[in-house]
Structure 1
Amino acid sequence: MSEYELRAARPADIDAVLAFWAESAEGTSISDDRAGVARLLERDPQALILAEHEGALLGTVIAGWDGWRCHLYRLAVHPAARRRGIGTALLDAAHARFAAAGGRRADAMVLEHNELGRSAWEAAGYGREDQWRRWTRPLDGAARPAS
């Protein structure tokens, strides 16, 4: 038996996932709330992959597939569970999901100042593409925050 199992998140996991991200993930997202995670699970029930052991959440990754691109978000492993292959297993599951859907390349959102995260992504074979920048705009009519 493995020391953890991977599975798709369910609506009953939302509060635990949000608490886990607050403790284990770097940064926050505009969608880090119950409604945001619920929308994700409703639209794509297989997108949020969890690693857990005896009900305790050890890691997450969102493997979003829009039919065109493969996007990875919220790769996080609990600080006490790092260096045990959990992040690699989560990415392997995400890559398998993408390959089965016909995806050809995955991209990841990585905060510039997150050195630990950048090291993890590089170790997984990802590289920064300096010619691209993320452009965003709030959809609620709010003014865009100053840079």
Structure 2
Amino acid sequence: MSDLHIRSATPSDIDTVLTFWRTAAEGTSISDDHDGMARLITRDPEALLLAERDGVLTGTVIAGFDGWRCHLYRLAVHPGHRRQGIGAALLAAAEERFRALGGRRGDAMVLDRNEPAQHAWRAAGYAPEPQWSRWVKHLDA
């Protein structure tokens, strides 16, 4: 994986990432827009990690830390680049970031119907916690 480069996103990456997610990520979020990503990058410039190979975006993960918990979102690898260790490299970079910030546990949201993603998360050492149910409120509603 020496040809894989992982870096933090910048504001100039926003449109590229949004286009990438339409191909590589399953499902969308109400915050998957230019303004939402700009807020993320402004608030925490190191949270959105990008994997690139030969200058081409191949994967993403959002590694958010609120000072108490570590949250992982939008782990996505381009379909043409899957099963090459890109997701694992992104998670390793996210976990390194969390440890440097003092984080001790990573939480990920994974769609129930996305079995390939569940397999990837399990392979990386993550497991579902059936005792918890995720509750969501859209704040713009």
Common fold by TM > 0.5 = yes
Residues 1:84 and 2:84 aligned together = yes
- Indicate the residue corresponding to 1:21 in structure 2: 21
Name the amino acid aligned to 1:24.
A
Name the amino acid aligned to 2:107.
D
- Indicate the residue corresponding to 2:108 in structure 1: 108
Aligned partners of 2:86 and 2:138: how far apart in 1?
A: 33
1:84 shift after superposition: 1.1
TM-score relative to the length of structure 1: 0.93
- Indicate the residue corresponding to 2:98 in structure 1: 98
- Indicate the residue corresponding to 1:12 in structure 2: 12
Name the amino acid aligned to 1:93.
A
- Indicate the residue corresponding to 2:72 in structure 1: 72
Aligned partners of 2:70 and 2:10: how far apart in 1?
A: 21
- Indicate the residue corresponding to 2:121 in structure 1: 121
Counterpart secondary structure, 1:52: strand
1:54 shift after superposition: 2.6
Deviations 1:71-90 (A, max 9, x none): 00000111111111111110
- Indicate the residue corresponding to 2:46 in structure 1: 46
Deviations 1:29-61 (A, max 9, x none): 111000010000000000000001232100000
Q: Over aligned residue pairs, what C-alpha RMSD do you find?
A: 1.0
> Percent same amino acid at aligned positions?
66
The structure with more radius of gyration: 1
- Indicate the residue corresponding to 1:145 in structure 2: none
Name the amino acid aligned to 1:101.
L
Segments of structure 1 that go 5 or more residues without pairing to the other structure are: 143-147
1:137 shift after superposition: 1.1
